[in-house]
Chain A
Amino acid sequence: MSTITRTASVNNGLSRARRKKLRTTRLALFLLLPSLIFLALFTFYPIAYSIYMSLFKNNQATYRTGPVYIGLENYIRLFTKDKIFAQSFKNNIIVAIVTVPTSIALAISMALFANKVKKFKGLVRVSFFYPTLLPMVAVANIWLFIYTPMYGLLGFINPNWRFLTNPNTVLWALIVMLIWKQAGYVMVFFISGLQNINPELYEAAHIDGANSRQIFWKITWPMLMPTTLYVMIITMTNAFKLVDHLYIMTKGGPGNSSNMLLFYVYQTAFDRSNTGYASAMTVVIIALLLVLTAVQFFTQDKRTHYA
């Protein structure tokens, strides 16, 4: 008799806890609902929609009939026939591979300097950071002038430099600008990373007679490693989004030598109204971003730092 009552009361208690959690879940869903509606409309649905639309032919030719199902043909064309896509893909990789380590190296030296400098500290920080706050289209206008042959800032040094109209140099000219725009943003993360390093480590190193190179490689660099890995992922994903300057400076040219994936999506979808094909490209970008995030996810635990 008494055992039965006890079991009943335990059951009752369990279900009470469960009922309480269910009530909390209802409250939580109510609080999350506004966010979830907008996430569903503008993040989840568009991903699914892109995947679905990428299987259709949907351009001016199918304007009367409506979208025609063609299976994976868009992807096959992208990866086997489309030279512009191949070029944009390659450019995206080059931009990522070059700008990411350069921005990081530059940002670390900027952060070290901005942290210890005594005179003009505010001015130094402003001059490093302000490019982050300028809209890309404004930056593009300014750098268009810098690169203008004859009359521009660089034209003043050598009037025959034509970096933006030469297919061999245009991407590199844009990369220099992207690094200048991005390094200050990256620096900010390193400034806060540096401030989290225990100063006693440096004092101990000085007492042990370490020189500044040893201090950097044995203390600062390993202690900054979590920041560096985090920044690597941000800048890698950013490399896919930075395309506004192309609209002003090159339109992806000359001859698509400076085109990027997202800008090619824009051209395909909105200049040429080829939405099925542009959807397939969007899916490729989504896949690349997911791979990058997965890499971050799986390397997270193996971050090298002494803590």
Chain B
Amino acid sequence: MSILTAKRERVRAAEWKMTPGKFLEYFFMYLFAAVCLIPLIWMVRTAFIPKEFELKLFKIAAPTIANFKSIWDQAPWISYYANTIFVVGSVLIMQYITITMAGYAFARLDFYGKNTLFMLFLTQIMIAADVLILPNYKTISAMGLANTLIGTAMPFFASAMGTFLMRQTIKTIPYELEEAARIDGCNLFQIIVKIYLPLLVPCFIAHGLIAASYQWNNFLWPLITINSVNKRLLTVGLAIFAQQAEIGAAWTDTCAATFLTVAPLLLVFLFFQKRFIESFAHSGIK
């Protein structure tokens, strides 16, 4: 026993010895990590640098918010934020309802056609709404929801990914809890709300982070659905702003606008870094 432990210790020590190969690996990977950060650092720097230095890469100057002041009047950024938050919020609320109900059915109930319905849900993962922009636009136009935020959000109200995540998680919750509640006279609605919802909170957070960042970053679909300036989402507003700015080549303005678009999500990410990465990893487990 002690011999084995000693051997393990020696092996551990050997693992941490710096060899030339290892040194090179560490050197290049640190370098690579630094290179990966350059686009972000440059964007943030340019957003805060005085306009006259925008093309001087190594110029150091006191940060200024003049660029933000200059773009503030050129587009309705507050509306962009509000619209984006509205779409992200309504997608999240609707998905939480639909995926909890469907996830419970797939996890706990034995019913006719279960496998067929499961396959039908899979279709959404295979053929995502991203590629169905044309027919979906026809559908929301026919419903009179073209150029509305709710029409922009609606194709995402059901989520097969989320349903499967809920199903997996509900399966790990002991069935005895549900039985006990049933004996105490709870109906299904009470069981879901009182027993399952509190236990599903980590799952909701994980799914919420993924769904929210997907919606926050979505572009082609809201570009198609929205025509009025005041109903645009952040990404669309940014893209159209950048197209105009391109003519004047005002990098400081483009970067300030880009910063406005990415800052909320990046801030949330920096605070919940570990949770974010774990959530994205779990989205891949089927």
Residues of A near any B CB (own CB < 8 A): 21-22, 24-25, 27-29, 31-32, 34-39, 41-47, 49-50, 53, 109-110, 113, 117, 120, 122-139, 141-143, 145-146, 151, 153, 156, 180, 184-185, 188-189, 191-192, 203, 206-207, 212, 227, 230-231, 234, 237, 240-241, 243-244, 247-248, 262, 265-266, 269-270, 275, 278-279, 282, 285-286, 289-290, 293
Contacts and interface: CB of A to CB of B under 8 A. Distances in A.
A142 B44 CA distance: 10
Q: Which DSSP category, helix, strand, loop or mixed, fits chain B's interface?
A: helix
Contacts of A29: 111
B225 to A, nearest CB: 11
A282 B46 CA distance: 40
A146 B42 CA distance: 10
Interface residues of B, number: 96
B127 to A, nearest CB: 5
B109 A28 contact: yes
Given A39-B120, A133-B266, A137-B261, 10 more contacts: A32-B102, A37-B158, A38-B157, A43-B127, A46-B135, A127-B33, A137-B219, A207-B11, A282-B134, A282-B135
A236 B98 CA distance: 28
B57 to A, nearest CB: 6
A134 B132 contact: no
Interface stretch (B63-71, B74-82, B193-201, B276-284): B276-284
B207 to A, nearest CB: 14
A243 B220 contact: yes
- State the 3 A-B residue pairs at the shortest beta-carbon distance, nearest first: A46-B135, A135-B217, A38-B158
Contacts of B163: 35
A42 B129 contact: yes
A234 B283 CA distance: 11
Interface of B: 7-8, 11, 14-15, 21, 25-26, 29-30, 32-34, 36-40, 42-43, 46, 55, 57, 97-99, 101-102, 104-105, 109-114, 117, 120-121, 123-124, 126-139, 154-155, 157-158, 160, 163, 188, 213, 216-220, 223-224, 234-235, 238-239, 242-243, 251, 254-255, 258, 261-262, 265-266, 269-270, 273, 276-278, 280-282, 284-286
B123 A44 contact: yes
A203 B124 CA distance: 43
A271 B2 CA distance: 75
A38 B143 CA distance: 13
A185 B239 contact: no
A35 B98 contact: yes
Contact of B120 (A44, A109, A203, A278): A44
A289 B139 contact: no
B110 A24 contact: yes
Contact of A117 (B29, B213, B235): B29
Nearest to B128: A241
B111 A21 contact: yes
Contacts of A27: 105, 109, 111, 188
A206 B8 CA distance: 9
B136 A42 contact: yes
7 contacts: A128-B33, A133-B266, A136-B219, A138-B262, A212-B21, A248-B243, A279-B134
Contact of B121 (A35, A53, A120): A35
B128 A39 contact: no
Given A35-B99, A125-B273, A180 B217 contact: no
Which of B36, B55, B155, B265 counts the most A-chain CB atoms under 10 A from its CB? B36
Nearest to A180: B36
Nearest to B39: A142
